[in-house]
Structures are given as C-alpha cells and as structure tokens.
C-alpha cells in the first residue's frame, strides 16, 4: 500500500519525501521493522521511541513518523527515507494501522467490553452464547486472543497495541468471523489504542477503584472518563444499573443508545430468585415472553451480572433461551473462580482478583457457601496503585477465616515492602494471618492446613503463567505448582 493511502485522513501531518513509496507494514516497535515498514516513534512513559529511529532505518524502514516536538539527527536517516511529522504520533498510529489493514472493523460486528472487573468472564460467556447460536466469533482479551476455535496467542495485557488489534481484526475478516468481542481497558481508550474501531456494541460491567498510579490514571475521574469514551464509539450500549457510577452513563450525553441490566434496580433485563451453590449460581430472567431459569457454571452473585450482560448482547444478535442456557451452564474461564482438581479432594480456587472490589467479591461469594474455613492467599502487584494494598489487607482480614500474605508480581519493588503495606490494613482487623514471602511456600502452607470442608482462594494471578520480577517474567503456573505440592 502506498504511504499516502496509509496516511489518509490523519490531520495535521507534514511530510518530506516520496509519499508514493510502498509500505509493507506499520509498527511502533523497532524490533518488528522490516524492509518497507513505516516506523512510528512514540514517546512512552519510560522510553522515547525516537531514539530507535536509526535502528529502524538501518533495518529497512521506508518511512518514519515523528512528533512535531521531536528533533532527529540527519545521520539517523537515509536520503530516501520519508519523514512524516505528526502533532501526536500516539493519535496518528491507530489511524495509520487502520488504513493499512483497510479498516477491518467495518467488515465485522465488534463488541467492546469495559469495566473494572468482569470483562474477561463476560466476554467468554458471550463468545459461548454466540457460538451456540452458530455465529463465528473472535476474541481479543486479557487471557488470549482467538479466531473462532483457534487460539492465536496468549495475551500480555487486556487490550494490545493498535498495531496488534488491527492485525487481529484483519485476520478475523480473512477467517470470515461474524462478531469480534474485545476487552477494552481504560488505558487502551485513554492512549488511543482502539481509535478507528467501528464498535457495534459497548458494555460497561462495573466501576471501582483500580489502576490509579503515575503510569495509569491520576485519579478516579480520569479513570471513569477514559472508560466513558467507549460509548461515543458504539451504536448500542449496555450498562450495569446496580453500579452507582456506571448507572450515571444513562443520563449523560453519549452517542450510543443505552440499555440497562441489573438485580436490585429497575432495568431492561432483570435477574430474580437467585440461588448460589459452591459450583453454580442460578436465577430467573425474562427472555421474550417467558421467565427462564438460567444456571451458570461459575458461582457467585457477580456471575449473575456478567451473565446478564452477555445475555443482553446475545439476544441482540438473535440467540434464543435454550442456546443461552446451554452455553452458560458449561462456561469455564481460566483463572476466574477456577477450581483446581487435586488428589486430596480439597477445594482450591484460583481467581484473578487483584483490586479491593474484586477481592471482596470473590471472598464474600465463597464465604456464603463454605462449610469450614475460608483460607485466602494473596499479595499485591508492584509498580501499581499502592493505596489499594492496606485496603485489600483489611478486606481479607474481615472476610477470610485465615489469610496468608505473599508475593504477587513485585516487578521492580521489594516484595517485603509491598507486604508491609498490606499488613497495615489487616492489622486493623481481628483476622488471623501469616506472612510467607515465597508464593509457592504460601500455597503449600494453605494446602497443609486445609481440611475438606475448607476452601482455599489463591487470588491475584488467575490465568497468568508467570511471576514478574525486575522486568523478567519467570514461568509460574499455579495449577502446576499445586500438582507438584500434592
């Protein structure tokens, strides 16, 4: 594709060189540059991509895009290198990639799901419902990316870079996918990763404190407003009427039509008569003219909300009650209320809960059906919101029967210092606890102390298969750890 076609519609550009040059790819990562690539230099939080221009040109970049405020050395480029200057390369990148792949989202129905928690579970539920209805789906999310039944790759973040998103959407078009389902993080909305996507439906699951840090959102208002952008990018929006913050969207000026779902408040789709067991939750909901009993293979009240959101979208795309019931009964989501089979017959649950609200949700839900003790093993991630650490300690101290505080993904922080901040909260409670810094030893301690009436919740990592320490992701699969400990 010619460079001028790649740049079509991007405002405020200035260029030097031949705009008819053939472009073979678009990237912001110099490691991915090949002959004919357009390299887009972006100023990141930690690294300025402009320092990699020389490397990109050496590897064959036909053109480079730089920010207006940046200065580049003549020695970094060749005589025939096309230089494009943009007011903001972060804004220009997704538009260029969208052009390069010929706007794949316009050839699909795209469902975007945002919210502090529940995104992954809800998208897996919706995928199952649509597939029961015979619709071929694609999924872009925090566990893995799928095209139909084929797993393309594991994910490193909830919403990948725009280059990866558009490549995946293009692959879905080639594979004749009908509906693409996407987890849409607040960061992806704020940092323009999903710009240019033609969303058909948007879903807002819930909203609570998370992702407040120097590298994410400065405050809750910025966090909320980032998520709100989704509803100016889609035609139809479904929101949780029982979440105080999310419910406000109904009265705001957004470009999409808004419908609601809930349990406690008047909604377009309401769940009633809820029963929770240790392995399922079931409820009644009106589909068409009939009240249907839905049983879901993931226990907890939060599963009702995720199911309602999935049902709303499923009904919009033509799914019927029988298809919905069959899909939700069999649903399993890696790392979300995931029960790990084991030789001792213990109830061991892995859950991705890594925020105060999600930890409270999973512990309260499990406590409601636990006959013995609720044993919670958890830590907090490093280089993230420090304010939530004592809050989560207090939640576990007040809710669990026994807490084992350990290491999560410390990243560049010292695990002991993170744990001390968690302890500040748990010390406010009467909840018994122990500190075991090594996560494997912490899991072993929980297994050794548990009886068959107890439930062990290992929170924080869920589907993750690594532990990140000083920028290195070390292999760490809690399922395998449990099997070895048994």
10-residue mean pLDDT series, the chain (486 residues): 97 96 97 97 89 96 95 88 96 98 97 94 97 97 91 78 96 97 94 96 89 72 93 97 96 95 97 90 95 93 96 98 96 91 93 91 91 97 93 98 98 97 98 98 98 96 94 95 95
In sequence order, what are the residues at sequence separation of 6 or more whose Cβ sits closer than 8 angstroms to the Cβ of residue 54? Answer: 73, 75, 76, 77
Residue 309 near residue 269 (C-beta atoms within 8 A): no
Tokens of 393: 């300690």
Strands 25-27 and 37-40: parallel
What gap in Å lies between CA 52 and CA 63, rounded to an integer? 13
Q: Which secondary-structure segment (H or E) carries 456? A: strand 455-459
- Specify the 3-state DSSP secondary structure of 348: strand
Q: For 6, which DSSP code?
A: H
Question: What pLDDT does residue 160 have?
Answer: 87
Query: In sequence order, which residues have a C-beta less than 8 Å from that of residue 416 and are 6 or more positions away?
Result: 437
Confirm if 246 and 252 have CB atoms less than 8 A apart. no
Q: State the Cα–Cα distance between residues 15 and 36, nearest whole angstrom.
A: 17
Q: Phi and psi (nearest 5°) for 348?
A: -120, 120
Question: What is the pLDDT at residue 211?
Answer: 60
Looking at residue 411, what DSSP letter applies? B
pLDDT score at 208: 84
Comparing 3-100 with 338-485, is the CATH topology the same? no
Question: Residue 158: what pLDDT?
Answer: 63
Q: Are 6 and 99 in contact (CB under 8 A)?
A: yes
Residues in the chain: 486
Task: Dig out the tokens for 323 from the structure.
Answer: 């298809």
The edge-to-edge listing of strands for the beta sheet with 179-183 is: 150-154, 144-147, 137-140, 179-183, 109-114, 199-204, 236-240, 257-262, 269-276, 281-287, 290-296
Residue found by looking up tokens 């996560």 in the block: 439
In the CATH hierarchy, which fold is given to the domain comprising 3-100?
3.40.1390
Question: Residue 398: enclosing H or E segment and its boundaries?
Answer: helix 388-399
What local confidence, expressed as pLDDT, does residue 278 receive?
Answer: 77
Tokens of 407: 């290491």
Place of tokens 């705001």: 252
Please compute, for residue 13, the number of CA atoms within 13 A of its CA located in the half-sphere on the CB side. 25
- List the CATH code of the domain at 104-329: 3.40.1190.10
What's the rounded Cα separation, in Å, for the pair 313 and 179? 11
- CATH code assigned to 338-485: 3.90.190.20
φ/ψ (deg, to 5) at 222 = -65, -40
- The tokens for 229 are 């952008």
Most distant CA atoms of the chain, gap in Å: 74
Per-domain residue ranges of the chain: 3-100, 104-329, 338-485
Q: What is the pTM of this model?
A: 0.87
DSSP string, 82-142: EEEEES-HHHHHHHHHHHHTT-GGGGSEEEEEE-SS-HHHHHHHHHHHHHHTT--EEEE-S
How far is the C-alpha of 336 from the C-alpha of 439, rounded, in Å?
19
Judged by DSSP in three states, 433 sits in strand
């Amino acid at each position: 594709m010619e460079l001028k076609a790649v740049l079509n519609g991007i405002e405020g550009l200035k260029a030097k060189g031949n705009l008819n040059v053939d472009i073979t790819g678009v990237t912001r990562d110099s490691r991915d540059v090949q002959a004919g690539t357009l390299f887009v230099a972006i100023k990141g939080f930690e690294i300025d991509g402009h320092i990699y221009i020389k490397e990109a040109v050496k590897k064959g970049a036909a053109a480079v895009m730089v920010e207006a405020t940046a200065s580049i050395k003549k020695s970094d480029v060749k005589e025939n290198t096309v230089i494009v200057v943009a007011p903001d390369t972060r804004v220009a990148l997704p538009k260029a990639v969208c052009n390069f792949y010929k706007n794949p989202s316009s050839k699909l129905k795209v469902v975007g799901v945002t919210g502090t928690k529940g995104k992954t579970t809800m998208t897996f539920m919706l995928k199952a419902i649509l597939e029961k209805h015979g619709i071929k789906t694609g999924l872009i999310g925090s566990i893995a990316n799928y095209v139909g039944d084929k797993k393309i790759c594991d994910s490193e973040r909830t919403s990948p870079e725009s280059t990866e998103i558009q490549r995946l959407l293009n692959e879905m078009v080639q594979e004749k996918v009908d509906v693409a389902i996407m987890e849409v993080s607040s960061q992806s909305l704020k940092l323009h990763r999903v710009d240019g996507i033609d969303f058909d439906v948007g879903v807002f699951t819930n909203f609570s404190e998370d992702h407040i840090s120097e590298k994410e959102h400065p405050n809750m208002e910025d966090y909320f407003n980032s998520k709100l952008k989704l509803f100016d990018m889609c035609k139809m929006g479904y929101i949780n009427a029982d979440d105080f913050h999310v419910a406000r969207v109904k009265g705001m000026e957004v470009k999409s039509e808004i419908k609601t779902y809930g349990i406690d408040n008047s909604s377009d789709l309401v769940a009633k008569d809820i029963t929770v067991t240790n392995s399922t939750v079931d409820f009644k909901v009106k589909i068409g003219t009939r009240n249907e009993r839905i049983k879901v293979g993931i226990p907890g009240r939060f599963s009702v909300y995720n199911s309602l959101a999935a049902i709303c979208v499923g009904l919009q795309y033509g799914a019927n009650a029988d298809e919905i019931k069959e899909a939700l009964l069999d649903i399993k989501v890696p790392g979300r209320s995931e029960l790990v089979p084991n030789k001792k017959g213990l109830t061991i649950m892995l859950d991705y809960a890594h925020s105060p609200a999600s930890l409270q949700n999973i512990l309260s839900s499990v406590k409601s059906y636990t006959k013995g003790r609720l044993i919670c093993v958890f830590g907090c991630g490093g280089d993230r919101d420090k304010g939530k650490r004592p809050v989560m300690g207090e939640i576990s101290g007040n809710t669990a029967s026994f807490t084992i505080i350990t290491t999560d993904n410390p990243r560049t922080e010292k695990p002991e210092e993170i744990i001390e901040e968690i302890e500040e909260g748990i010390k406010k409670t009467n909840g018994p606890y122990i500190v075991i810094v090594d996560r494997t030893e912490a899991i072993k301690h929980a297994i050794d102390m548990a009886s068959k009436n107890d439930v062990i919740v290992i929170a924080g990592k869920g589907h993750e298969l690594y532990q990140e320490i000083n920028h290195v992701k070390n292999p760490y699969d809690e399922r395998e750890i449990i099997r070895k400990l048994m």
